[in-house]
């Protein structure tokens, strides 16, 4: 699925994306849940078109899985493989912020030793084409933020921050139109548009899970709307209806 937030509406993200795909610089993608971090990581991989595979190390897993990931990353040949210029694999370290503290320490120590041994210069290490992703959180929310920052600073010097949907409320009509087009095609439906009062609810709602929540809402609403009709307030999910009633956004009888 295309991500309209990244593709169409955030010029600064476009600029940073272009810089990333035209180089082998490591990039850290930050943003709240649901803003499109996974989509952007996949887009960078596809746009670079190096011919190798995307190696995903997903830290949103059990401690055992995380341990296996760190064992893989600290194997003698792993970073040497990433250094190859032809048919180069791309490493995606997903949700780095969830990595256990002792594993973060192990990775940081390993990278430090690589530098001390002269195996990798800092410049080489920062240009292996690695992609990382993590939730956007305050340091006070990360008890392991000192170790995390040490690891991030050793591997990333370039960051792309995707803003939350609540900071791009004026773009919601464009997002809605895009999702309507995509989901009508996927669901083989013909829902024409969203009614103005329902759109007003969309514009006022805070969308804690960002675009993923918006997409899920529109998908649900399409299934409850007749073909060639508009999405009305009456078909909105209970959480949006509750929000609408609380804020005086519903007409009587809805």
- The pTM (predicted TM-score) of the whole model is 0.85
How would residue 118 be classed by pLDDT, with cut points 50, 70 and 90?
confident
Between 54 and 120, residue with greater pLDDT: 54
The share of the chain scoring above pLDDT 90, in percent, equals 63
With H, G, I as helix, E, B as strand and everything else as coil, classify residue 239: helix
CA torsion sign for 139, 16, 52, 114 is negative
Residue 135's DSSP bridge partners are: 31
Task: Supply the pLDDT for residue 138.
Answer: 62
pLDDT in tens, 239-248: 999 999 999 8
Task: Supply the pLDDT for residue 80.
Answer: 84
> 174: which 2 tokens?
């464009």
Q: CA 218 from chain center: how many Å?
A: 20
Burial class of 77 by CB neighbour count within 10 A (0 to 12, 13 to 18, 19+): exposed
The b-or-e profile of 41-71 (16+ CB within 10 A means b, else e) is bbbbbeebebebeebbbebebeeeebeebbe
Instruction: Give all domains of the chain, ordered by start, each with its CATH number.
Output: 4-161 (3.40.50.300), 166-246 (1.10.8.60)
Q: Which of 205, 188, 203, 190 is nearest to 243 (CA)?
A: 205
Between 77 and 252, residue with greater pLDDT: 77
Q: Residue 179's CB: how many other CB atoms inside 10 A?
A: 22
pLDDT in tens, 195-239: 999 999 999 999 999 999 999 999 999 999 999 999 999 999 999
Task: Supply the pLDDT for residue 82.
Answer: 85
């Amino acid at each position: 699925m295309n991500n309209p937030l990244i593709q169409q509406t955030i010029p600064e993200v476009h600029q940073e994306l272009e810089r990333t795909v035209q180089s082998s610089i490591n990039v850290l993608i930050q943003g709240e849940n649901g803003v499109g971090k996974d989509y952007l990581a996949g887009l960078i991989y596809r746009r670079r078109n190096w011919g190798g595979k995307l190696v995903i190390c997903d830290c949103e897993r059990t401690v055992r899985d995380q341990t296996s990931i760190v064992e893989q990353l600290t194997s003698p040949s792993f970073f040497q493989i990433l250094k190859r210029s032809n048919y180069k694999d791309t490493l995606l370290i997903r949700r780095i912020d969830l990595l256990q503290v002792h594993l973060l320490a192990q990775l940081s120590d390993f990278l430090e030793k690589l530098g001390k041994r002269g195996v990798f210069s800092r410049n080489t290490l920062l240009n292996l084409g690695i992609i990382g992703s993590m939730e956007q959180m305050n340091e006070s929310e990360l008890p392991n933020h000192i170790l995390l920052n040490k690891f991030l600073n050793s591997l990333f010097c370039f960051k792309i921050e995707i803003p939350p949907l609540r900071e791009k409320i004026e773009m919601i009509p464009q997002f809605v139109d895009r999702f309507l087009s995509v989901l009508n095609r996927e669901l083989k439906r013909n829902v024409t548009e969203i009614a103005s009062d329902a759109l007003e609810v969309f514009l006022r709602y805070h969308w804690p899970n960002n675009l993923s929540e918006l997409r899920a809402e529109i998908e649900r609403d399409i299934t409850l709307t007749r073909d060639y009709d508009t999405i009305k307030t009456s078909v909105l999910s209970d959480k949006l209806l509750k929000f609408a009633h609380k804020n005086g956004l519903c007409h009587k009888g809805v």
